[in-house]
């Protein structure tokens, strides 16, 4: 029979061990809500001793136990091997109206009994991968057209080498395709720059009147070729925008260039600016065919064209408005469009006005 003194000592030791473990769990639980991903402290029997607030809503925890059978199996594997293990699993969120989600589960042993489980949501990663895949597919498709045309035209030139008129005709077509290919590559480079990790490396106060003048000059030849007057309103000295001058020039030049491309010959494109409290607005108005209402929500998507056949005729790449959108976002602004079929369109860039000494402005609000 065990001595009562030893029984008492055993109880005290067990109590002390339990208290030590409870203190460790309490200390570890303080960092769970600080972690960017859902996390929990679990034991070898799949009980959850502490968890971040989002674990239950995300379906990781149910009645103080690990909810997923796959995660339980992973937990047993961790305790058997005594090393960190990870696995991608599909988890059913709690509630019938909530969908499944993909997670990368990593479980790391803390000691013989406890482990730390971290669940990384893969939904955003999958979405970005889908966007990249679609972008690559679109680029490949868009580049294939001018490259294929150049190949066919080169063969035609070779076959018609004795017919000077035919050679001239084919070479002029080749120049058109080369221009289209060059424009596509230039826009891809511009888009990659405005979507970069540090899109505003060269930020400074930029005078609105100056960027309007530069953008109008950049599109002057295209306007003259169609007999289009680019009319700038009398007072565009509305202040400054804090940002990257090159990006702002590209965005405004794209809008004016589009207005010229889609306007009939011998018409007018208007460019104006105004200041509304702490917001500067730069608008470009054309007399083009207008944009159907159902297409207006998509025109800022990469490679989207309202009329693909007309875009081929005008040499459009389908990237210009996507660049405009990203430039606006980089500067805390946005781009609005008003358009009616048969009456033309007005695009308005909206940016926070630069306040002297105030540094980088806040985002535009109150659309």
Could you report the per-residue pLDDT of 110-123, keeping only the tens digit for each? 888 888 999 888 87
Is residue 253 domain-shared with residue 351, that is, in the same domain? yes
List the structure tokens of 133.
């895949």
For residues 204 and 200, what is the distance between their CA atoms, to the nearest angstrom?
A: 9
Could you report the per-residue pLDDT of 241-296, keeping only the tens digit for each? 998 888 898 899 989 998 998 899 999 999 999 998 889 999 999 998 888 888 88
Is residue 293 domain-shared with residue 365, that is, in the same domain? yes
Is residue 53 domain-shared with residue 152, that is, in the same domain? no
Evaluate if residue 233 carries a pLDDT over 80: yes
List the structure tokens of 298.
């998509």
Is residue 70 domain-shared with residue 184, that is, in the same domain? no
Is residue 322 domain-shared with residue 241, that is, in the same domain? yes
Residue written as tokens 């003259």? 224
Is residue 281 domain-shared with residue 149, that is, in the same domain? no
Largest CA distance in the chain: 117
- Output the domain CATH number for residue 41: 3.30.450.20
On whether residue 308 sits in a domain, the answer given is yes
Is residue 347 domain-shared with residue 246, that is, in the same domain? yes
Residue written as tokens 């990384």? 120
On whether residue 11 sits in a domain, the answer given is no
For residues 246 and 204, what is the distance between their CA atoms, to the nearest angstrom?
A: 11
On whether residue 5 sits in a domain, the answer given is no
On whether residue 233 sits in a domain, the answer given is yes
On whether residue 254 sits in a domain, the answer given is yes
Domain that holds residue 111: 17-121
Give the per-residue pLDDT at 16: 57
Could you report the per-residue pLDDT of 174-231, keeping only the tens digit for each? 777 777 777 677 767 777 767 665 556 678 899 999 999 999 998 898 899 899 999 9
Looking at beta carbons, which pairs linking 334-340 to residues 24 or more positions away fall under 8 Å?
Answer: 334/364, 334/367, 335/300, 336/367, 337/291, 337/296, 337/299, 339/290, 339/291, 339/296, 340/290
CA angle 266/181/215 to nearest 5° reads: 45
List the structure tokens of 229.
């007057």
- Output the domain CATH number for residue 189: 1.10.287.130
Give the per-residue pLDDT at 366: 46
Give the per-residue pLDDT at 138: 66
Selected residue with higher pLDDT from 299 and 363: 299
Task: Give residue 19's pLDDT band: very low, low, confident or very high (50, 70, 90).
Answer: low
Task: Return the CA Rg of the chain.
Answer: 31
Question: Is this model's pTM higher than 0.75 or not?
Answer: no
Evaluate if residue 322 carries a pLDDT over 90: no
Is residue 180 domain-shared with residue 281, that is, in the same domain? no
Helices (H) and strands (E) in the chain, counts: 10, 14
Task: Give residue 107's pLDDT band: very low, low, confident or very high (50, 70, 90).
Answer: very high
Q: Are 59 and 67 in contact (CB under 8 A)?
A: yes
Is residue 136 domain-shared with residue 279, that is, in the same domain? no
Is residue 247 domain-shared with residue 211, that is, in the same domain? yes
On whether residue 70 sits in a domain, the answer given is yes
The total of structural domains in the chain comes to: 3
């Amino acid at each position: 029979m065990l001595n009562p003194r030893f029984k008492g000592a055993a109880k005290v030791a067990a109590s002390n061990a339990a208290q030590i473990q409870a203190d460790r769990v309490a200390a570890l639980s303080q960092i769970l809500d600080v972690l960017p991903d859902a996390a929990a402290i679990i034991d070898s029997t799949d009980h959850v001793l502490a968890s971040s607030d989002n674990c239950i809503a995300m379906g990781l925890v149910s009645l103080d136990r690990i909810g997923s059978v796959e995660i339980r199996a992973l937990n047993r594997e961790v305790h058997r091997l005594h090393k960190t293990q990870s696995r991608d699993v599909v988890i059913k969120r709690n509630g019938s109206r909530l969908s499944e989600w993909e997670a990368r589960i990593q479980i790391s042993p803390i000691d013989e009994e406890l482990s730390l489980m971290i669940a990384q949501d893969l939904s955003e990663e999958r979405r970005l991968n889908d966007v990249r895949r679609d972008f690559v597919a679109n680029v490949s498709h868009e580049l294939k057209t001018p490259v294929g045309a150049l190949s066919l035209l080169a063969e035609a030139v070779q076959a018609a080498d004795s017919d000077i008129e035919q050679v001239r005709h084919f070479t002029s077509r080749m120049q058109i395709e080369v221009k289209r290919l060059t424009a596509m590559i230039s826009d891809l480079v511009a888009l990659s720059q405005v979507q970069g990790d540090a899109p505003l490396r060269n930020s400074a106060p930029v005078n609105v009147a100056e960027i309007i003048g530069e953008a109008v000059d950049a599109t002057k030849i295209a306007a003259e070729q169609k007999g289009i007057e680019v009319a700038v309103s009398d007072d565009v000295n509305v202040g400054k925008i804090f940002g990257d001058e090159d990006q702002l020039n590209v965005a405004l030049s794209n809008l004016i260039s589009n207005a010229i491309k889609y306007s009939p010959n011998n018409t007018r494109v208007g460019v104006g600016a105004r200041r509304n409290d702490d917001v500067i607005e730069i608008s470009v108005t054309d007399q083009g065919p207008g944009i159907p209402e159902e297409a207006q929500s998509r025109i800022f998507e990469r490679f989207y064209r309202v009329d693909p056949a007309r875009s081929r005729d005008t040499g459009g790449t389908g990237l210009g408005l996507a660049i405009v959108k990203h430039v606006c976002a980089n500067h805390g602004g946005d781009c609005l469009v008003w358009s009616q079929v048969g009456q033309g369109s007005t695009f308005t860039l909206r940016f926070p006005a630069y306040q002297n000494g105030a540094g980088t402005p806040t985002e535009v609000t109150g659309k």
